[in-house]
Amino acid sequence: MASKELERLIEFLRSQPEVEPDLPPADLRAGFEAIAAMFPVPPDVSLQPVDVGGVPGEWIVPPGASDDRVVFYLHGGGYAIGSIATHRAMVARISEAAGARALVIEYRLAPEHPFPAAVEDAAAGYRWLLAQGVDPARVVVAGDSAGGGLTVAVLVSLRDAGDAMPSAAVCLSPWTDLEGTGESLASKADIDPMVQREGIEIMAKMYLAGADPRTPLASPIYADLHGLPPMLIHVGTAEVLLDDAVRLADRARAAGVEVALEPWEDMIHVWHCFAHVLPEARQAIDRVGEFIRERTSS
């Protein structure tokens, strides 16, 4: 049963003025930044800016984090909005639960930098991390929404290039089908307070810039997923991207990948980001931390 906190959160989200998805990207970004500024970062977490091979990045280090266990995190935002700042609070909680340092990168955004810029920056960031001497067996690549799809895409790209795979991947409410063919886009539209088809279509158009929406590194449900590391996939049953997560899990399993698909009843898109008010978010983050610890143990 959903918590009272979730009910109040959904009521609050529905009460907010509707954001026009065709606003200029700069306005959408500013709005996202303003909302995220309300999410508190634990005061004892260290934030360290870093140049990740030419890509802006930040180390997020909670107290007691293992020096050699790393979460390489790719933020969400439809490939057009989002930043280190918008995801700092959630990633801090994930890294704390995992007992790991987190490296978040500011990959280039569409429409100024369309596909495959995000994949290129994510691959460069991962290679930079390994070049610092970090053991890939102690790395987990993670991301939410578009960052969840990007997590899978960059792993496919790295695998094809012969790079060492990380120990595991974590995908939170992943967006994996930019063509928008999942049935849940319609069946969950009335209960999802955060994401709707129109916004997805606009962001997909910005990111693809004319590319085929079934291009595997843009829509990784169409990619050959063999040889990828074990995956944890979280998705809420009240979100329009439910089928994106379910189909990703099905296709990964068919390719021989070990997958833990965990649908959370009544949860909304990337509910983990509301951990400061939502008990289910804290529970989900604890589960993510447990998975990361298990997969990166010596």
Active site positions, annotated: 145, 239, 269
How far is Cα 211 from Cα 204, in angstroms, rounded to an integer?
Answer: 10
DSSP element (H, E) containing 260: strand 259-264
State which amino acid sits at residue 171: C
Do strands 139-144 and 66-74 pair parallel, antiparallel, or not at all (unpaired)? parallel
In the 8-state DSSP scheme, what is residue 266?
A: T
H or E segment to which residue 262 belongs: strand 259-264
Which residues are registered as beta bridge partners of 72?
103, 141
Tokens of 130: 């390994």
Q: Kind and range of the H or E element at 199?
A: helix 197-208
Taking Cα atoms as reference points, which of 45, 210, 254, 4 lies closest to residue 111? 210
The beta-strand segments (E) located in 42-199 are 46-52, 55-61, 66-74, 100-105, 139-144, 168-172
DSSP secondary structure code for residue 18 in this structure = P
Burial string for 272-297 (b: 16+ CB within 10 Å, else e) reads: bbbbeebebbbebbbbbbebbbebbe
Tell me, what DSSP letter sits at residue 110? T
- Which residues make Cβ contacts (< 8 Å) with residue 96, sequence separation at least 6? 42, 45, 62, 63, 65, 289
